[in-house]
Structure 1
Amino acid sequence: MNPFAARRARLAASMEPGAVAVLATAPEVARNGDSDYPYRHDSHFYYLTGFTEPESVLVLVAGQGEAPARSILFCREKNAEREIWDGFRHGPAAALDAFGFDAAFPIGELDAQMARLLADVPVLYYAVARNAALDAQVARWLQAVRARARSGIAAPGRTQHLLALVDEMRLLKDETEQGLMLRAATIAGAGHVRAMQAVRPGMFEYELEAELLYAFRKGGAQFPAYTPIVASGANACVLHYSANNARMRDGDLVLIDAGCEFDSYASDITRTFPVNGRFSDAQKTLYELVLVAQAAALRAIVPGRPYSDVHEAALAVLAEGMLDLKLLDRASYGSVDDVLAERAYTPFYMHGTGHWLGLDVHDSGSYRDLDAAGKPSRALVPGMALTVEPGIYVRPGPGVPERFWNIGIRIEDDVIVGEAGARVLSGAAPKTVPEIEALVAQR
């Protein structure tokens, strides 16, 4: 529990002296009838507590003078009857010992305890305007404190958004987090290998999805990190395709964007490979262009360089390739600089080259330096985790060489910013043309 207690201490130290912070976990959500969606705790809450049960709230009281900071958990009570139906629950006493809190109470006491804890507090930190029910609950707490004004009790004079503080903490991954992310990426990489070995012309996309999900769970992952994309042929030109119900044809590529979640940390890997095991000349040409673009982006991951350099490095390679392959007309765009200035590449490459990764697939943290004038791209720092995922998507159109029509390619890896540059976590999934063709041939 040391990482969680240390994070709570860091957060409390960043708050105003004597302030109180409140953070609730995610609610259970009904799917249909009397069935719920599989429960997933709130990532911010888990980051600070390690506690995964629903109906839970963390309260932090910042230190002031000689008084130390305190962390308080509100959670469900022990209930032998409900545990027969729903499984184990800690209850306040066990949670107090197991998770290193200073105090723990039943969730039913939250309102009464908050009316006491908020007395004479200067600032209340919480997720302002994120949840209407929580906003209403906070309003009731403040009203209960104000009702004691005649006794000389004052309510917090201000509220402040809490999640921005936690977002900045989450941006840098400690060794424990990096180890969990490596495990998630390794499990997901094995799933991509299994899919490459299983693919055959005539299969449905969902059959490959089943191979992935099997490998994820067998490897110890608790969930897929997001709905897998298994997109063959022209479907690969749809960025967030998720139907996964088309039959894969001989001669098509299949793009798989799929990752898993291990102990709450996500992986996010994309590989593109031929259904029949051999890249055509046109497919190989575009694939190797994307691979070179990714290599350029990975080289740009150096501490101190702006995050935006990663995208710009990939973009320059792709723009040059689009001109060389006549996807873009040199008569209209004489140089790479012209292509970039006019954003002429967007019909074929319309997304960024990556995003933060961690407890969430698109993890928290700003991409800009919030303390700098003009808010430039923030500098890379060791411990940051991100994806690097250039692609190219060629739809039929006037002037577009027909041999490239309906080819969609993306190559995505999970990366930690290290002292010496990029540390790739997802190397278990092969990505060069010879590696892929050799692996598919083993089927």
Structure 2
Amino acid sequence: MPNSVFVQRRQQLIAALQPGSVALLSAAAEQSRSRDTEYPFRQHSDFWYYTGFNEPDALLIIANRSDMPAVQLLCREKDPAQEVWHGRRLGPAAAAEYLHLQAAPLSERNSILQQAINGSTAVYMHLTENSALLAQVTALMQQLKQREKRGDIAPVQLIDLAPVTAEKRLIKDQTEIAIMRRAGQISAEAHIRAMQLCRPGRYEYQLEAEILHHFALNGARYPAYNSIVGSGDNGCILHYTDNNSELTAGDLVLIDAGCELQGYAADISRTFPVSGTFSKAQAELYQLVLDAQYAACSAVKPGSNFAKVTAAAEQVLTEGLLGLGILQGELEQLIADKACKQYFIHGIGHWLGLDVHDVGAYKVAGPDGEMAEQPFVPGMVLTIEPGLYIPAGSPTDQCWWDLAVRIEDNLLVTADGHDNLTTAVPKEIEAIEQLMAAADAGK
């Protein structure tokens, strides 16, 4: 991603701040996994959004004040002794050159932070994250208030920075869209690979390994979230990540997996038969979910919203469940009662971006001040993921028990509708069966 993108984002944030105020944003900290080991470092999404800087413990100070630098980055100093053990550091001098901002050593944090707060009308920061920084800022504000007779000026407001940034992150620019399109392509190819290599007798974690291998082989070293590979009744567990069961002939396997590329997430779900061929009951339930997904996707366009998308999917699901005998009653009443939610137990989708469940409001204040659905506008990226889950013991014919189907794609809202970023992985029954049959023939 070109550095000019980060510079522009910082300029946009400065313009959004109250005159005379500052914004503080902390980098993520390294997290211990076990004794003397850490989890792979993952930068705080907002910090990455404004800097592209991928080191821990840094602090970004952005000011809408004429008496101090507009942007300051406080980061770790160069340290050969530490770097030989733990990896290279950019250091303040190189950070200033490469990131096009003013930088200083992290050791000067306390004095620079006090200078930034003193005289500011307000301080923007994440109020529900990084309690240490919040405690430090609150203490400094109290100290400044006690020294007002000496000319110090304490800010009068603490303002949450999260919704300010969330509004900006909700609309993706062309650089972000290009990255997310590539993340979708890589993830789609990984799902195809899992379909091709699926065989009875293999294990869920072996399909997961193939998916992660394909991610890394194509430049996406990490998944965007813990991959779900749930076969048989495991598919009825929405966030199943044990992935340790043997794949059994006659079962379905539900895979929910997406890569992270340059910080941006893909999020795809596909369901397919372990043996390569859907049974009659499996095919009927699968086609119903697919029809609901097509209906929901058709509703994704400028001016629409998640409520309309949900209604489109629920209409199809309710009609289909009634037709299959899984629900009983009058259609209109079943729709009004949202009876399909007994088996469609999650939402229709979510925003997608630097986080797999990305930031952004789902409801906004309307012209009359009342909260209303956030309308879709070009540049938004979201998932559409209807699903049906019928665990054993459900009040249905036993032919439906332990069936779980979820189909999920990533959609970019465009000026005239939407663009499916993950359409490359098959989801039609015939296409899935043909793909798996060809793979089986060539093994």
| Same-fold status (TM-score > 0.5) | yes
Asked if 1:5 corresponds to 2:7, the answer is yes
By how many angstroms is 1:222 displaced? 2.0
Asked if 1:395 corresponds to 2:391, the answer is yes
Q: Could you say which residue in structure 2 is the equivalent of 1:292? A: 291
By how many angstroms is 1:202 displaced? 1.1
The 8 Å contact of residues 75 and 91 in structure 1, kept in 2 or not, is answered as: yes
SS at match of 2:422: coil
Distance 1:114 1:370 in 2: 35
Which structure 2 residue ranges, 5 or more long, are not aligned? Answer: none
Higher mean C-alpha displacement, 173-182 vs 338-347:
338-347
Q: Could you say which residue in structure 1 is the equivalent of 2:375? A: 379
Q: Could you say which residue in structure 2 is the equivalent of 1:121? A: 120
Q: Could you say which residue in structure 2 is the equivalent of 1:404? A: 400
Q: Could you say which residue in structure 2 is the equivalent of 1:20? A: 22
Distance 2:100 2:300 in 1: 37
Corresponding letter in the other structure for 1:173: K
Match of 1:367 among 355, 362, 377: 362
Distance 1:121 1:192 in 2: 51
Q: Could you say which residue in structure 1 is the equivalent of 2:251? A: 252
Match of 2:350 among 340, 351, 355: 355
By how many angstroms is 1:215 displaced? 0.8
Distance 2:200 2:321 in 1: 30
Distance 1:340 1:44 in 2: 40
The 8 Å contact of residues 13 and 63 in structure 1, kept in 2 or not, is answered as: no
Q: Could you say which residue in structure 2 is the equivalent of 1:193? A: 192
By how many angstroms is 1:131 displaced? 2.7
The 8 Å contact of residues 193 and 430 in structure 1, kept in 2 or not, is answered as: yes
Q: Could you say which residue in structure 1 is the equivalent of 2:275? A: 276
Q: Could you say which residue in structure 1 is the equivalent of 2:86? A: 86
Q: Could you say which residue in structure 2 is the equivalent of 1:345? A: 340
By how many angstroms is 1:69 displaced? 7.1
How does the TM-score come out when normalised to structure 1?
Answer: 0.96
How does the TM-score come out when normalised to structure 2?
Answer: 0.96
Q: Could you say which residue in structure 1 is the equivalent of 2:430? A: 434
By how many angstroms is 1:398 displaced? 5.7
By how many angstroms is 1:259 displaced? 0.6
The 8 Å contact of residues 75 and 103 in structure 2, kept in 1 or not, is answered as: yes
Runs of 4+ with deviation above 6 angstroms: none
1:79-158 matches, within 5 Å, as: 79-101=79-101, 103-158=102-157
Distance 2:305 2:192 in 1: 33
By how many angstroms is 1:371 displaced? 5.1
Distance 2:87 2:40 in 1: 14
Q: Could you say which residue in structure 2 is the equivalent of 1:161? A: 160
Higher mean C-alpha displacement, 296-305 vs 150-159:
150-159
1:178-257 matches, within 5 Å, as: 178-257=177-256
Distance 1:150 1:322 in 2: 73
Distance 2:371 2:190 in 1: 39
- CA shift digits 1:150-201 (9 cap, x unpaired): 3222111111111110000000000000111111111111110110010001
Distance 1:370 1:199 in 2: 48
**Cα 1:239–1:129 shift into 2, 3 Å:** closer
By how many angstroms is 1:273 displaced? 0.5
1:26-41 matches, within 5 Å, as: 26-41=28-43
By how many angstroms is 1:81 displaced? 1.7
Q: Could you say which residue in structure 2 is the equivalent of 1:60? A: 62
Report the aligned-residue RMSD. 1.4
Corresponding letter in the other structure for 2:385: E
- Percentage identity across aligned positions? 43
Distance 2:147 2:338 in 1: 61
The 8 Å contact of residues 289 and 405 in structure 2, kept in 1 or not, is answered as: yes
Q: How many residues align?
A: 436
Corresponding letter in the other structure for 2:88: F
The 8 Å contact of residues 314 and 338 in structure 2, kept in 1 or not, is answered as: no
By how many angstroms is 1:420 displaced? 1.1
The 8 Å contact of residues 19 and 61 in structure 1, kept in 2 or not, is answered as: yes
